[in-house]
Amino acid sequence: MARRRRRAHRQRRDRAADAAVSGPATAPAAVVPRRSALLVWGVALSAYVAAVFHRSSLGVTGVDAAHRFDINASALATFTVAQLAVYAAMQVPVGVLLDRFGSRRLLIAGSALMVAGQLCFALATDVRLAVAARILVGLGDAMTFISVLRIVAFWFPGRRNPMLTQLTGTLGQLGAVLGAVPLVALLHRVGWTPAFLVAAAVGATVLLMVVAAVRDTPHRDTAAKSAPTLATVRRRLVAAWAQPGTRLGLWTHFVTQFSGAVFALLWGYPFLVQGQGLTPTAAASLLTLMTVATLLSGPVVAHLCARHPLRRSVLVFAVTGATAVVWAAVLAWPGRAPGWLLVTLVLVLAVNGPGSVIGFDYARTFNPVSRIGSAIGIVNVGGFVASIVLVLAVGVVLDLATPAGRSTPDLAAFRWAFAVQYALWALGAVQVLRWRNAARRHQAAERVRAAAAPVSAAIS
């Protein structure tokens, strides 16, 4: 008897989990050839890998960029801020365009913009042209990730979405591997212009692959439909924003992403070289280790989200709390941190990326597929706004805290600069709690309405 009760309880729990994982955002039910789906996703994923490569190419070349353009830390931060600001500002407009025109067109446009940006960056000797080049990279980057997630929603069944969404975000970090040790080695061997011309050539190759292989949807009837009107897309955007689960995803992305992103994109390499006294090769190796750890931790996070969808916020707080604790140990350590502690730091920061992808899983769970682009665009704003704030704040504090007469920041300046993170973590944690409760209330109200609907129909 007790065994039957336990079995019945497990069945009810599994049904609830299946409903939470599938959500309303399931793709059309027609059978899709597995090889075709994997081919389209694989090529679209290569576009995201290239986007991460272009995005992170400044992170390990920041010291060289400062020398090339003869700028200080605050001015160097404007390169990344310009790139991230465009990325964040374009997320909602790109989400609207994505729902209207589809993934293929946006991936082609985004890849072309990033190639143009890297070409400009390769040839730039003026700061203004270099900033314009990073803006082009940010604009193209903004069109890529959410386009790939929309392809996942259309080409794969709902039960596979959490794993494939996480794999997309995780495998995309291979681009950061290419943008670390190989790019640094190429830069020091052949120089600035040839290195970034090679980066542009990589992007051009991926662009041709996207043109040849990517399609928006496997369902010809869906593809044949005319694009929705702007008024329709605008209504979908408003509906996505009104959904508490979308805002829960936004703040989840905010609180989990910024520390690892800023470390990888700009300030990690100077912190390790100038603050901790590592060699450039050792610092680049730590950034590569961070990327490899991201690749390994992503599937684990995806499995936990799929297995325990009603406990995703617990995972969000675990990632955030662990990051804050390890940073506290590094910043409070007397003198330079030991190697094992720096390794621990990059391993914990590696989980930030997979943790932030939970925000997109919330967007997919709480929104129908027709507005998935708008919802994902809203979510993607969160982490990049936080990253912009932190990039700027670190640059300003470094300039203020660097002792007079020094050309580079010392360890004390880096400690003050990275302490700014705690204000962002506090804000994000409060908002995640707020919108998690709102999403739960909304779900409960939806269940009550769904249960009452058949009774009302029978009475009428």
Q: For residue range 125-156, list pLDDT tens digits in order.
A: 888 898 899 899 999 999 998 899 889 888 88
DSSP 12: H
Residue 140: what pLDDT? 94
CATH code that applies to domain 34-217+229-445? 1.20.1250.20
How confident is the model at residue 106, as a pLDDT?
95
Residues of the chain with pLDDT under 70: 1-32, 59-60, 158-159, 179-180, 219-228, 453-460
Confidence (pLDDT) at 18: 40
Mean pLDDT, rounded, of the chain? 84
Q: How far is it between the farthest Cα atoms of the chain?
A: 83
Given this model, what pLDDT does residue 8 score? 54
pTM: 0.72
pLDDT at 458: 42
Q: What whole-number distance in Å separates Cα of residue 360 and Cα of residue 152?
A: 12
Contacts of 264 (CB under 8 A, 6+ apart): 56, 59, 176, 287, 290, 291, 349
The closest of 401, 318, 395, 380 to 96, measured between CA atoms, is: 380
Query: What pLDDT was estimated at residue 296?
Result: 87
Which pLDDT tens digit goes with each residue over 389-407? 998 899 889 988 887 777 7
- What is the dihedral sign for C-alpha 241, 162, 49, 429? positive
Q: Output the CA–CA distances (angstroms, integers) from residue 415 to 6, 61, 162, in the order listed.
A: 52, 22, 37
Count how many residues are written for the chain: 460
Residue with the two structure tokens 């019945």: 8
pLDDT more than 90, % of the chain: 37
Provide the pLDDT for residue 272: 94
What tokens does 213 get? Answer: 């292989």
d(CA 71, CA 84): 19
Q: How far apart are the first and last CA of the chain?
A: 42
Say how far apart CA 274 and CA 409 lie, in whole Å. 7
Q: Residues 250-267: pLDDT tens digits?
A: 999 999 999 998 998 788
Report whether 239 contacts 338 (CB < 8 A): no
- Whole-angstrom distance, CA of residue 283 vs CA of residue 261: 16
CA pair distance 80, 59, nearest whole angstrom: 9
Are 76 and 66 spatial neighbours (Cβ–Cβ below 8 Å)? Answer: yes
Q: Supply the pLDDT for residue 23.
A: 52
Distance (Å, whole) CA 306 – CA 327: 29
